[in-house]
Chain A
Amino acid sequence: MRSLATWARLKSPWVLHFNSGACNGCDIEIVALLTPRYDVERFGIKLEPSPRHADVLLTSGAVTRQCAERLKRIYDQMPEPKFVVAIGACACSGGVFKGNYTILGGVDKVIPVNAYIPGCPPKPEAIIDGVVKLLNSLQQPKSEGKQ
């Protein structure tokens, strides 16, 4: 049964996108993944609006004070097992906004992160690569999903 679930997760991971205080650069690139040139739906990756149905949380942004609570809540709503991908320099470490008065500086300050995709913004190819690496890491449960 577990192998069936892993198989399903690998073949069709449902992703949820949350902007935790980004400049829209990464967010637009995430949406661009769904459009004809990159078309990640051919890999079964589906953008899912509800956290309760999502396997992977794609987070962009440096996490503002106002968003931190919501990010945590969305993460808590997701069913286990869940995976988090931090997209963009801001989500990885705070980026250019690090040290500002409302910035926590990185998604990993609030929730555990499985994969980091740096770049400002990362190219869609890089995001696909990051998600695929994360999925591959699920096949060997012992290894950590960090790239």
Chain B
Amino acid sequence: MTQVNEASLISTLLDRIGGLGCIQPNYLGKATIQVNADSIRKIIEILLKSDNTAVIVAITGLDLLEKLGLMYHLRTHGSIVTVRTEVPKDNPRISTITDLIPGANFHEREVADLLGVVFQGHPNLARLVLPDDWPKNLYPLRKDADLQEVTAKLDSCLCSTQPEIEQKQAQKETGLVNIVVGPQHPALLEPEKFSLTVDGETVKVVEPRIGYVHRGIEKASEQRTYLQDIYLVERICGICNSCHAVAFAGAVEKILKTEVPTRAKYIRTIILELNRLHSHLLVLGHAGLEIGYETLFQYMWRDREPIMDLTELLTGNRVVSSSMTVGGVRRDLKEADVPKIKTQLDILKKKLVFYQSLFQNETSLKMRTQKVGFLSTEDALKLCVVGPVPRASGVNTDVRKDEPYEAYGEIPFRTVTRTEGDTYARLMVRLDELNESINIIEYALDNMPTGPFRVRVPRIVTAGEAINRVEAPRGELFHYVKSNGTAYPERVKVRTPTFANLPAFLKTAIGESIADIPANFVSLDPCFSCTDR
């Protein structure tokens, strides 16, 4: 995606939008457009038509006491444009945009679930993340929601045993069989439920039920200080924890208008890339396991261990690094560690040559993954998927290139894309990205600037709001932080990559053989602790 200069982008927007809303440039992305709730569809339609690669990144809902605010964040021309509107709290209704862009489906459902906004015309506003037995008309993200009663009664939720296996009678007549996978299932590491309707071997319908790992992190972060929140958002996901920490810290730094020292930026970049290395090795190994190639799984995870050691060497922790803070990093990089890191990366680089030839020549691996789970370029854009998934379908999108953060603007690297759009391509994109990550780390180590690694920042953050995007291993990670001038944030919104990628699975699984489902599913690199938060 090409960088379009701000002035021309905004003037184009102004032309197209006319008198529908007022534009605030350089606010929450490239521009924020304030509109009436009635004209939301019109504006989104104009924005989508003005750029055929435009997608919905997130829909943020927030409680403005008398009203409920809604923000539609769109990615257009490689940057974010926010459309902002308000609905009354006693009658929160707005028309859906799911028919304009199908990728908005889950975003709208989440806002409906947590804030109680009714999206009129939405195909299915069923419960998404909250528990099955959650009381009706209690929306946890509203400021006036009384959660104490629910929290006090948590133990009593054990008494009810809901029958889960149902829908048996209707199936006999149609010949379709319903297979429920999860919440505890050998193929899933995480507790989620997928209800597959199959006709013989072919999958007809996939119904996901997420929310088993919903821990209410967005609400909890409103009750903790900014510094505490860094450790909380890190624990959204144990795999891409540094990305969450950087995304959150970056958003707070934007509100504070703090410039992070260059050395801290480089150290952050190295930690982020180590994160990507271990996450990609993890998923490639996991894919091997799912296609019945356990040797690949063991090999990949063996080679992942040195990366974990490097993370421990740099940050003090193997998994959850806890090395980020607002204003920089908590630990400096020791000069003595540089050769150790380089040696390990060299070893991994040599092993990658072997994996490359393995993925290119191993017939059984190709047979299980090629032409499986095909996702076309148009579908990738329509479903608003992020990260390696659209990159494997020929969409050149990478936050590191589009809107460079930390040190990525100064480091040369290549965005890996492929055009096949199948499971194989998605795995190959990740395999090639491993090489790029190693190059980025090596470049950052060679060009490490001197100077401080953190700056002091005030504990109380000035009022304001900011968005921040980070290219996590699974794709674009989006954080929105709103501060009201106290020590606690007013709203933290996290849109995780898997949440955006889930529609791709529902699309690609249809018409597939049931035996191909695991490989297809894993190639999206799903992470449900991210999705549910």
Q: How far is the CA of A121 from the CA of B311 in the complex (A)?
A: 14
CB distance from A78 to the nearest CB of B (A): 12
A109 closest partner in B (C-beta): B155
CB distance from B31 to the nearest CB of A (A): 35
Q: Return chain B residues, CB-CB under 8 Å to A61.
A: 213
Can you list 27 A-B pairs, Cβ within 8 angstroms, ordered by A? A18-B184, A19-B189, A20-B191, A22-B213, A23-B236, A25-B235, A25-B320, A28-B239, A29-B318, A31-B189, A36-B298, A61-B213, A64-B212, A64-B213, A64-B214, A65-B133, A66-B131, A66-B214, A68-B157, A69-B160, A96-B235, A99-B220, A100-B219, A101-B147, A101-B216, A102-B216, A123-B318
Q: How far is the CA of A65 from the CA of B479 in the complex (A)?
A: 26
| Further contacts, 5 of them, CB under 8 A, given A96-B231, A110-B158 | A21-B529, A23-B236, A31-B189, A102-B131, A103-B216
CB distance from A67 to the nearest CB of B (A): 5
Please give the number of chain B residues whose Cβ is less than 8 angstroms from any Cβ of chain A in the complex: 53
Give 10 closest A-B pairs by Cβ, nearest first.
A25-B238, A49-B186, A35-B301, A24-B238, A100-B216, A66-B131, A36-B302, A23-B238, A65-B131, A101-B147
CB distance from A36 to the nearest CB of B (A): 4
CB distance from B271 to the nearest CB of A (A): 16
Q: How far is the CA of A74 from the CA of B155 in the complex (A)?
A: 17
Q: How far is the CA of A27 from the CA of B157 in the complex (A)?
A: 25
CB distance from A58 to the nearest CB of B (A): 12
Q: How far is the CA of A121 from the CA of B529 in the complex (A)?
A: 15
Q: How far is the CA of A27 from the CA of B212 in the complex (A)?
A: 15
Q: How far is the CA of A74 from the CA of B184 in the complex (A)?
A: 8
Task: Check: B124 CB closer than 8 A to any chain A CB.
Answer: no
Docked-complex contact A25 and B241, CB < 8 angstroms: yes
Chain B 344-379 per-residue mask, 1 if CB under 8 angstroms from chain A, else 0: 000000000000000000000000000000000000
Q: Return chain A residues, CB-CB under 8 Å to B191.
A: 18-21, 67, 70
A104 closest partner in B (C-beta): B154
Q: Return chain B residues, CB-CB under 8 Å to A51.
A: 184
Q: Which residues in window 155-181 of B have CB below 8 A to A?
A: 155, 157-158, 160-162
Q: How far is the CA of A64 from the CA of B158 in the complex (A)?
A: 11
Task: Check: A142 CB closer than 8 A to any chain B CB.
Answer: no
B312 closest partner in A (C-beta): A123
Q: Return chain B residues, CB-CB under 8 Å to A70.
A: 183-184, 191, 212
Q: Return chain A residues, CB-CB under 8 Å to B132.
A: 66
Q: How far is the CA of A110 from the CA of B156 in the complex (A)?
A: 11
Q: How far is the CA of A80 from the CA of B214 in the complex (A)?
A: 31
Q: How far is the CA of A27 from the CA of B213 in the complex (A)?
A: 13
Task: Check: A120 CB closer than 8 A to any chain B CB.
Answer: yes
Q: How far is the CA of A28 from the CA of B318 in the complex (A)?
A: 11
Task: Check: A72 CB closer than 8 A to any chain B CB.
Answer: yes
Task: Check: A83 CB closer than 8 A to any chain B CB.
Answer: no
Q: How far is the CA of A145 from the CA of B440 in the complex (A)?
A: 48
